[in-house]
Each structure stands twice: as structure tokens, then as C-alpha cells.
Amino acid sequence: MELLSLQDVTVFAVDTRGHGRSEGARGSAASFSVLVKDVDAFVRHVSEQNKIPLPNMIVLAHSVGAVSVATWVHDYAPPIRAMILAAAAFRVKLYVPFAVPALRLKQRATGPGYVKSYVKAKMLTHDAEEAARYDADPLIFRQIAINILLDLHDTSKRLLADAGAINVATLMLGAGSDWVVSLKAQSAFFNGLSSAVKCACFPGCLSRDFSRTGSPSGRRSRARVCAGTVRATRGYDLTARSGQRRVYMGRARAIEAARRSAISAYSRGHEDGWPLEQGN
């Protein structure tokens, strides 16, 4: 947290079930909704065990994890301070015509199965050290269960159609040159949000490039965008629900000003929307 200048912030991390050191069938779960329940269980466990109120918590997630967190916020309406979604996998680029219908037929015909990942380290980051770590990591499972991939697809469609129900302060980080997940799907979600804090895309980045871009100044710029979101949401009333929103407009204006300043100074994103021309 030194890079973010947030020494008063504590970070908790989790391996999703079936990944890393967590138990469970590798790359699998009974359904995507189980992964969403896991998000709820983890956040509430951290809150209860460490006496941290949910309104003081910011949840950050990447790729498929970002979709599970967005689904949790949509379906469970937790009173968290904010969420940060990096390269959210609202649509995975499968590069095969009619891939989703074909996978549905395969699942009906043969039952549970897996899809091997086509993702290579060079598709995720420009950082050679990060790519080498990715290639050498024995805890990365390079397949995904077909039922989870299909559930992810269906859940994402539901979220994009009803993104306006989400009013939690949100920072979205999009990779302008992402080979793995669709930037247009992230754009649709971004533009549908009712949230007071929204940010945009980093041109030229790959899916895992947010922490490093080849220079200390690039790393600091992205860190400052995250730090600005943390600071901007302090004191903001995020306990409201749809239809009962209690927003202090003075604070909302301050947050919007901080958002615009962060975009202008550090991310080169558009002030009024997601730069669609940066990817697909």
C-alpha cells in the first residue's frame, strides 16, 4: 500500500474455490451463483473477524472475479464503500464461431467437461517479469468448467441489462488492447451504472497490465487512480438501496470532481464515457 500512500488501509485476499490453494475441483463449481455466495461469505467473514464495518470496505476483483463481485453487489446489495473492477469478463473472447451454442450442446450430450484456456502470458501483460511468473506459477489452473463458462455468459447478460440497479461507487479499469475479454461489454456495463464514481480505460494495456506498464510513472499513474477512488468515497453514504437512495449531493459532486480529475491527470480516459474506439 506504500505505492498508493494508503498506510491506513488493510488488504485481504482470497483464492477462489478451485483455484490457488483453495479446496474444490479445479476450475469448477456447481454453478456461478456458488462463486457469488463465496464472495459474500468471504467479505462478511473479514468484516466480522476484524471488526470492519461493510461501509468501510472496498472490494477489488479482476476478470471472472470482477463479474462475481458485480453480481454480488447487484443481487445482494451489500452496503460496501466501493468496488473496483479490473478487466471484467462480461464477455470472454472465444474466437470460435457459435462457441456458446456449441458448448451448450456439448454439455447436454456429454455432461460436465472443461474448456482448455487459449490464454498465453504474452496476451496478458507487456511486462516480461510478470509474464515469466505467470508461465511458471503451478497454482494457475489453465482450464475452466463448461458450466461455469456458460453461467458466466448468462449472468453477464443479466448484469448488462440491469446495470442501472447498481449505485455503489465504482472504479472500472479497462485494458485498451485486451485479447481476452471484450471492452465493449465492459463499456455497456460502465455506461449503464447508476454509480457516482466511474472511471475509464487505459489505452494500450493488456488484461494484467494495470500494475506495471514499463515505467515507474506508469505504475504510479494507475495507483493514483485507485487511491483517488478510495479517498473520494470516504464519508460518502453508500448504505442506500434502489428506491431509497440517500445521497448527499455535496459529497456526490466532490466525488465526481475527484473522478474527473483522476481521469484527466492519470488515465487519459474520456470524462463522459468509455472510449469505445480503444477495443472490442
Q: How far apart are CA 88 and CA 79, in angstroms?
A: 21
Which domains does the chain possess?
A: 32-92+152-278 (3.40.50.1820)
Give the separation between CA 181 and CA 217, rounded to whole angstroms.
26
pLDDT (0 to 100) of residue 200: 53
Average pLDDT score over residue span 15-32:
90
Cα dihedral 270/276/277/280 (nearest 10): 150
d(CA 34, CA 251): 36
Task: Tell me the per-residue pLDDT of 158-216, one tens digit each, with 9 for 90 and over.
Answer: 999 999 999 998 888 887 777 788 888 988 898 899 876 666 555 556 555 554 444 44
The C-alpha atoms of residue 120 and residue 135 are separated, in whole angstroms, by 8
Q: What is the rounded average pLDDT of the residues 246-251? A: 37
- The rounded distance, in Å, linking the Cα atoms of 172 and 204 is 16
Q: What is the band of 114 on the pLDDT scale with cuts at 50, 70, 90? A: very high
State percent of the chain over pLDDT 70.
68
